[in-house]
Chain A
Amino acid sequence: MSITTERIVYRYDRESPAEEAVLKGVSAEIKEGLITAIMGKTGCGKSTLIQVMAGLLDAESGRVMVDGEDICDRGFDRTALRAKLGVVFQYPEKQLFETTVAKDVGFGLKHLDMTDEEKRANIRWALEIMGFDPDEVGGKSPLGLSGGEKRRLAIAGVLAIRPKYLILDEPVAGLDPFGREKFIHLLKKLKKDGTGIAIVSHNADMVAECADRVIIMSDGEITMTGDTKDVFRDMESVAQAGVDVSAARRIAHALRTRGIGVSPDTIRYDDLISEIVRVSERGGK
C-alpha cells in the first residue's frame, strides 16, 4: 500500500518568481510504514509535489495513485482521501481557529463516519500523543497557548483522523533542538504504527535521524532517490542539488579523506560516536 505519483507534470501560470514551482514528470512513492524525506532547494517543486499527492493541486498530466486508486479520476471520492491522508503545512499553527482546543482538534472529524464516542477517543489520543493532557487543555482557547504548544496542537488536529498517510512540510522549522528531538520521536512512533510518512525538510540532521528513504529534487525533477544512507553517501550529487548532508556524514567524510577508517555509512550522530570509538579502540586514533 502506498501513495504513488506517475509522471506528474504541473505548471504554475501565476507569476511568483520567488517560488516558481514546476514539476516535469515526477514519479515518486510514499510507502506505508516508512518515513520518506523529500529534500531540495527552495523552489525545486517539493512543496508542489506534496500538494499534488494530497489532491490539493491538480496536475496537468500524470496520475496520483493512493492505495491503487487514481485520485484524479472523476469518480473518485475526495472525502475518502481526506479520511486517510493528513497534511501538516509549514507553520501549521496559523490554521487554528476554533474557540476551544478540543473543538479545533476535532474539526477534521466533523464529516467522518464515526460515532461521537469514537471522535472523542480520537481527540484524546491525538492530544496525548502530542504531549497534552486532554482534561487540562481541552476547554482552553487555542490562541492562549504558547508558540510551541500551538504548533503541537495544530499537528494534533491533523493526527485526530488517525491518518494512514501523513505528509509534513517543514514541521521542525523554528523549533529548538529539544523540540526537534521530541518530534523525531513522534514520527518514529507513528511509523511503528504503520503510518506512511512523507516529510519535506531542509534539516539534513533530522532527515538522517529518522528517514528511511530520501527523494532529492532539483528544478522540478527527481535527481536522486533511495535509502537515506545510500543517498547521503554520494555527497557530490547531493551537493549538486543544493542540499546539505547531515553533520555526522560531513565529519565522517572529512575523517575518511584524512585517512581515518570510519564507515561511509555514518550519517547519524550516534553512529558517528560509535564509529569514532570503534576506530580509536582499534588503536588507530
Chain B
Amino acid sequence: MSGVSLDVKKGELVALLGRNGSGKSTLIRHFNALLSLQEGELIVGGIDASGKKNIWDLRRLSGMVFQNPDNQFVAPVVFDDVAFGLENYLVPREEIPTRVEKALDAVGMKGFENRAPHTLSGGQKQRVALAGVLAVEPDIVIFDEATSMLDPRGRSEVLSIIRQLHESGKTIIMITHYIEECVSADRVILMDSGKVVCSGAPENVLTDRERLKSAGMMPPMPVRVYYDLLERGVQLDRCPLTEEELTELLCR
C-alpha cells in the first residue's frame, strides 16, 4: 500500500471496491490497529491511530465483521459469543444479558441465544458475528467481504441489516468485490495496487467503464447494457445503475 489518503465522514456508508490484492483489506486493518501504521497519519473518530497506546479505544470504536463465517466464533453457544467483546471491555456482568439481547435483536437473531454456531446458516452466522460487534456499541462498523462466502439469501440478509445500521446513524465501511453491492453506498472508493484510483458517488465511479476496467473490475450489469446499446446505436437518456432504473429508461 502506498500513499493512500481518504476521509470517511461520520454516518457515511462507504464501499471499498477492488480486485483481490488491491490493498483494500490491508487498508481497513489499519482502521482498528490490526496492522500498525508504518508511515503517515490516521485519525479514527478523533483518536490517533499511529501510537500503540490507543489501540483498545480504537478497537472499541470500530468493530469488524470478517469474511469467513466459520472462523470468528470463540464460544460454543451464540449468547456467550456475543458476550465475548463485552467481557473483553470489562462491561459489568449484570449489564451483559441486556446488551447481548439488544444486539441479537438488532440483527434479527433473538431466540438463537442457546444455539451452537455450527447449526446456523451462513447468513445467520454473519449476523451473530455482527451482533457480537454491535454489543460493544461501536461508532464505526467495518465489513471485510462479509458477504462473499454466503448464498444469495444469506447475502441479502446481511445487506439489508447493513442498510438498517446505516439508517440508524452508524458509519459503515464495506469491502466488496461484488460491484452490485456498491450501488446503494453514499460513496465508492475504487482501489488498485495499493492506491486509491478514484472516490466519489456511485453514479460517477460505477459508470466509468475505462477506469473500472483498468482496476480489473467489471461495471454493474445495467451500466454494461447502457454502453453496449450505445455501441449498437441505441442511446438511453442517462446511464442507469440498477435494474429498475434500466427498465424505466428503456420504457421511455
Contacts and interface: CB of A to CB of B under 8 A. Distances in A.
Contact of B225 (A250, A272, A280): A272
Q: Would you list the 3 A-B pairs with minimal beta carbon distance, nearest first?
A: A177-B218, A254-B247, A17-B119
Contacts of A258: 247, 251
Interface in B137-193: 148-149, 151-154, 177, 179
B150 to A, nearest CB: 9
A146 B20 contact: yes
A269 B251 contact: no
Interface string A172-203: 01101110000000000000000000000010
Contacts of A202: 151-152
Contact of A18 (B118, B148, B153, B233): B118
A141 interface: no
A244 B152 contact: yes
Contacts of B251: 255, 258, 260
7 contacts: A42-B154, A176-B19, A177-B218, A202-B152, A258-B251, A269-B224, A277-B229
B246 interface: yes
Contacts, number: 75
B221 to A, nearest CB: 5
Nearest to A253: B247
B154 to A, nearest CB: 8
A65 interface: no
A247 interface: yes
Contacts of A247: 221, 243
A239 interface: no
Interface of B is mostly: helix
Interface of A: 15-18, 41-43, 146-148, 173-174, 176-178, 202, 242, 244, 247, 250-251, 254-255, 258, 260, 269, 272-273, 276-277, 280, 285
Nearest to A247: B221
Contacts of A176: 19-20, 177, 216-218
Contact of A277 (B21, B148, B149, B234): B234
B20 A276 contact: no
Nearest to A259: B251
A42 B149 contact: no
B35 interface: no
B232 interface: yes
Given A18-B118, A176-B177, A276-B250, A42 B234 contact: no
B218 A42 contact: no
Which of A16, A177, A255, A277 has most B Cβ within 10 Å?
Answer: A177
A174 B122 CA distance: 14
Contacts of A273: 225, 228-229, 232
B121 interface: yes
A267 to B, nearest CB: 14
Nearest to B120: A18
A276 B149 contact: no
B229 A18 contact: no
Contacts of A17: 119
Given A18-B119, A177-B218, A273-B232, A42 B153 contact: yes
Contacts of B177: 176
A186 B248 CA distance: 36
A16 B119 contact: yes
A255 B247 contact: yes
A202 to B, nearest CB: 5
Contacts of B244: 254
B81 to A, nearest CB: 16
B243 A250 contact: yes
A250 B246 CA distance: 11
Contacts of B232: 273, 277
Contact of B151 (A42, A260, A269): A42
B62 to A, nearest CB: 25
